[in-house]
């Protein structure tokens, strides 16, 4: 089983799935908090246009979880 | 022209978008021996329609590559032809690259500025490309209308739900409500049913009998009819519930969607008093048709018009020529009309580019394509008539409903936007003025904001253009803005 790490917690994925897909599959529905109202956000448009699903991957901030492929051992953090 | 431009062969044609329209254009051009560059944001060809997983996931998920797809053989034929063309050097295919800005230089070359769609640390940034003939086939994205609770996780664009299924084999929910309007809701519900979702409800704000308003148009698209029959069968098997003149008027839950409120609607979209009820749900997949991706044509000053579905589209001739010489457009950006129509238009635009550069093009081939394209346009008009955005949709909003997701601007604040310039209350304006200025640059809220701000007798082309024109077509890191296109005014909002 391939896994990446979300804030210390292993998340399984199938090779070729995006980080967003793997998170949703694992029951994680949000990974960002909004600036003004501090509300949870996760995946919305699914195709890289809405920027709701931003996440930090291997130190690179503001990656779109719906476009970024999951990789074994990747270090992923909520933003 | 700046010096770090990548020079490509002067006879080359650049195509942006590898969906049905862009692929048809690329295969037509390469079949005629014309070199071309095909740039696409996605890592695999196919666009929104033929989005599919890579071989690794096909194997790991024990599914077929073409699961849930229509006209798949048309795709694989083009794909293998293009693979051959890439091997022989005729096609330069650039997956995973996004055009974030575009301009024309003094010599009328189009300059395309590129960025990787997924950045990795330390990766070199792609050099800008200059070309004199450009085909834009950038497609569309789901059109959205806000409703109370739509910012809760578990509310997703219907197309996004479909994309997740098609590319990652993940259902976004197992107890979904698919809502909005139009025939596209059906494949989304069918895909979720196949992936194991139960108690699926499809709510269309319009009534399917609307199709009968232009029966001639509807029968012109026989393949859609067949797909309809297929969905009817699948819906019976999976006990999918279809509800007409019904909308999701609110989503509720603690940190994510747990329930939705449905309501029966009148013809103009007003809620019928006392008709509301609540059901449990873990997903709302919502879409109100599609919004064409017009940022690149708008940046080039291309003439536009408003289509029968209320979308701003490129005003092109039947061959896809736009008001800008050398610039052609195909697919959803010249009118949302489905994948089959996009294929026809892609081929037409490629033939126009060939003939404009002096190559001979078969007149009968063009005639056949023109008549196919007229039939497709007719079908689209029928579809638009049957599935309009309900006039009174904003009556579902409360003052607290967020309209602009990025900047968290509520309906209440937008309503206070004074119509009279002298009466402007500065804070309201400042807050309301942020609507459409967030990370997505108004792609998600733009249509809704333009409707809410619409004034009696207002010019829709101007209203939609002001929300559709963006300093950059995609947010890019500051380092890339350093290769600033000369005529662009970078306002700083582009940086991530
Ligand atoms: C999310 C989604 C899912 C859909 N699913 C279905 C479905 O299941 N069934 C159905 O019948 N119809 C579906 N549709 C409608 C269908 O996709 C269209 O009818 C059809 O794909 C239009 O073809 P096209 O070639 O015009 O555009 P598209 O297929 O949208 O292709 C456009 C391509 O251009 C790329 N692109 C856009 N801008 C840039 C840029 N600046 N730089 C680089 N590349 C860029 C996009 O990434 C995309 O790959 C869907 C639409 C969406 C938005
Ligand atoms: S939703 Fe308004 S700018 Fe993104």
> Which domains are seen in chain B, by residue range?
13-141+291-361 (3.50.50.60), 144-288 (3.50.50.60), 397-468 (no CATH)
Q: Which of A15, A30, A67 minimises the CB distance to B256? A: A30
Q: Quick check: B495 pLDDT over 90? A: no
Using one digit for the tens of pLDDT, what is the confidence trace for B390-431?
Answer: 999 999 999 999 999 999 999 998 888 765 444 455 556 566
Q: Which atom of ligand 2 is nearest to the CA of B404?
A: 2
Percent residues over pLDDT 70 in chain B = 84
Q: How far away, in angstroms, is B406 Cα from ligand 2 center?
A: 4
Using a 6 Å cutoff on CB, does residue B134 contact ligand 1?
A: no
Q: For residue B95, report the distance from its CA to the centre of ligand 2, in Å.
A: 27
Which atom belonging to ligand 1 lies closest to the Cα atom of B100? 41
Residue B45 Cα to ligand 1 middle (Å): 10
Which pLDDT band holds residue B121 (cuts at 50, 70, 90)?
low
pLDDT above 70: residue A40: yes
Taking CA–CA distances from B151, the nearest residue in chain A reads A41
Query: What would the mean pLDDT of B188-195 be, rounded to a whole number?
Result: 92
- The protein residue with its alpha carbon nearest to ligand 1, atom 30, reads B139
Percent of chain A with pLDDT over 70: 100
Q: What share of chain A is helix, strand, coil (3-state, %, to 5)?
A: 10, 35, 55
| Whether the predicted pLDDT of B486 surpasses 70 | no
Percent of chain B with pLDDT over 90: 62
The C-alpha of B216 sits at a distance from chain A's nearest C-alpha, in angstroms, of 34
Cβ of B291 closer than 6 Å to ligand 1, yes or no, is no
Q: Report the candidate in B41, B3, B24 with the shortest Cα–Cα distance to residue B296.
A: B41
Residue range B162-186: mean pLDDT, rounded: 94
Question: To test the ligand 2 pocket, which listed residue (B402, B438, B475, B491) has its Cβ within 8 A of the most ligand atoms?
Answer: B438
- What gap in Å lies between CA A46 and CA B38, rounded to an integer? 23
Looking at the complex, report in whole angstroms how far the Cα of residue B385 sits from the nearest Cα belonging to chain A: 25
pLDDT average, residue stretch B146-169: 96
Ligand 2 pocket test, pick from B443, B449, B452, B474 with the greatest ligand atom count within 8 Å of Cβ, gives B443
Contact B118 A68 (CB under 8 A): yes
CB < 8 Å from A in window 459-478 of B? 475
Handedness of CA B375, B328, B6, B477 (dihedral sign): negative
Please report the pLDDT score of residue B483 as a whole number: 56
Q: Which of residues 8-37 of A touch B (CB under 8 A)?
A: 14-18, 20-22, 24-25, 29-30, 34-37
CATH code for the domain defined by A2-78: 3.10.20.440
Q: Is B332 in the pocket of ligand 1 (CB under 6 A)?
A: yes
Is the CB of residue B485 less than 8 Å away from at least one CB of chain A? no
Give CA–CA dist B162/B290, Å, rounded: 14
Integer angstrom CA distances of residue A75 from A62, B119, B191, B196: 14, 15, 32, 31
Which protein residues are within 6 Å of ligand 2, measured from CB?
A: B 404-407, 435-438, 440-442, 444-445
pLDDT value at residue B69: 80
Binned at pLDDT 50, 70 and 90, residue B3 comes out as very low
pLDDT surpasses 60 at B248: yes
Where do the structural domains in chain A lie, given as residue ranges?
Answer: 2-78
pLDDT(B493) > 50: no
Q: Do A43 and B156 touch (CB under 8 A)?
A: yes
Atom of ligand 2 nearest to the CA of B446: 2
Q: Among A68-77, B102-111, B389-398, B466-475, where is mean pLDDT lowest?
A: B466-475
Residue B473 — pLDDT band, cuts 50, 70, 90? low
> B154 to chain A: nearest residue by CA?
A29
When comparing pLDDT for B128 and B470, which is higher? B128
Report, as an integer, the average pLDDT of B219-239.
62
Q: What is the mean pLDDT of chain B?
A: 86
B158 lines ligand 1 (CB under 6 A): no
Task: Give the tens place of pLDDT for each residue, B275-333.
Answer: 999 999 999 999 999 999 999 999 999 999 999 999 999 999 999 999 999 999 999 99
Q: Whole-model pTM?
A: 0.91
In the Cβ-directed half-sphere of B132, how many Cα atoms lie within 13 Å? 9
Confidence label for B230 from pLDDT (cuts 50, 70 and 90): low
How far is residue B131's CA from residue B180's CA, in Å, rounded to a whole number?
A: 40
């Amino acid at each position: 089983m391939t896994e990446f790490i979300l804030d210390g917690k292993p998340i399984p994925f199938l090779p070729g799935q995006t980080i967003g897909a793997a998170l949703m599959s694992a029951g994680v529905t949000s990974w960002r908090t909004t600036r003004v109202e501090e509300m949870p956000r996760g995946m919305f448009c699914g195709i890289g246009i809405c920027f709701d699903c931003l996440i930090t991957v291997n130190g690179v901030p503001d990656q779109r979880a719906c476009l970024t492929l999951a990789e074994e051992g990747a270090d992923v953090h909520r933003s | 022209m700046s010096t770090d431009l990548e020079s490509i062969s002067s006879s080359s044609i650049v195509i942006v978008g590898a969906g049905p329209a862009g692929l048809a254009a690329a295969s037509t051009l390469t079949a005629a021996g014309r070199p071309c560059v095909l740039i696409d944001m996605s890592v695999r060809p196919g666009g929104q329609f033929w989005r599919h997983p890579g071989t690794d996931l096909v194997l790991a998920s024990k599914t077929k590559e073409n699961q849930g797809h229509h006209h798949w053989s048309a795709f694989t034929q083009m794909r293998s032809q293009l693979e051959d063309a890439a091997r022989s050097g005729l096609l330069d295919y650039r997956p995973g690259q996004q055009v974030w800005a575009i301009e024309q230089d003094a010599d009328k070359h189009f300059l395309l500025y590129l960025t990787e769609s997924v950045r990795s640390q330390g990766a070199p940034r792609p050099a800008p490309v200059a070309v004199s003939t450009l085909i834009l086939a950038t497609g569309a994205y789901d059109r959205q209308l806000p409703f109370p609770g739509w910012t809760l996780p578990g509310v997703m664009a219907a197309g996004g739900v479909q994309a997740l299924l098609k590319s990652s084999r993940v259902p976004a929910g197992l107890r979904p409500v698919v809502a909005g309007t139009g025939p596209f809701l059906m494949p989304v519900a069918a895909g979720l049913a196949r992936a194991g979702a139960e108690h699926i409800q499809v709510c269309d704000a319009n009534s399917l009998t609307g199709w009968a308003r232009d029966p001639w148009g509807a029968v012109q698209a026989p393949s859609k009819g067949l797909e309809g029959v297929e969905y009817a069968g699948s819906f019976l098997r999976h006990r999918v519930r279809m509800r007409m003149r019904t909308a999701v008027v609110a989503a509720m839950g603690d940190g994510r969607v747990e329930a939705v409120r449905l309501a029966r609607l009148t013809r103009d979209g007003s809620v019928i008093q006392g008709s509301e009820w609540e059901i449990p749900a873990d997903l709302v997949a919502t879409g109100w048709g599609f919004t064409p991706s017009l940022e690149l044509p708008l940046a080039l000053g291309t003439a536009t018009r408003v289509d029968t579905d209320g979308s701003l589209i490129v005003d092109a001739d039947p061959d896809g020529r736009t008001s800008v010489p050398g610039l052609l457009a195909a697919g959803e950006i010249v009118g949302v009309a489905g994948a089959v129509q996009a294929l026809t238009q892609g081929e037409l635009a490629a033939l126009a580019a060939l003939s404009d550069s002096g190559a001979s093009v078969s007149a009968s081939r063009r005639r056949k394509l023109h008549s196919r394209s007229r039939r497709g346009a007719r079908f689209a008009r029928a579809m638009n008539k049957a599935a309009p955005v309900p006039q009174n949709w904003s009556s579902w909003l409360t003052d607290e409903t967020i309209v602009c997701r990025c900047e968290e601007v509520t309906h209440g604040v937008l309503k206070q936007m004074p119509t009279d310039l002298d009466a402007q209350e500065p804070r309201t304006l400042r807050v309301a003025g942020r609507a459409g200025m967030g990370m997505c640059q108004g792609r998600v809220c733009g249509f809704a904001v333009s409707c809410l701000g619409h004034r009696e007798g207002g010019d829709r082309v101007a209203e939609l253009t002001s929300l559709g024109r963006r300093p950059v077509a995609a947010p890019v890191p500051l380092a890339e803005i350093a290769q600033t296109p000369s005529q662009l005014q970078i306002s700083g909002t582009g940086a991530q």
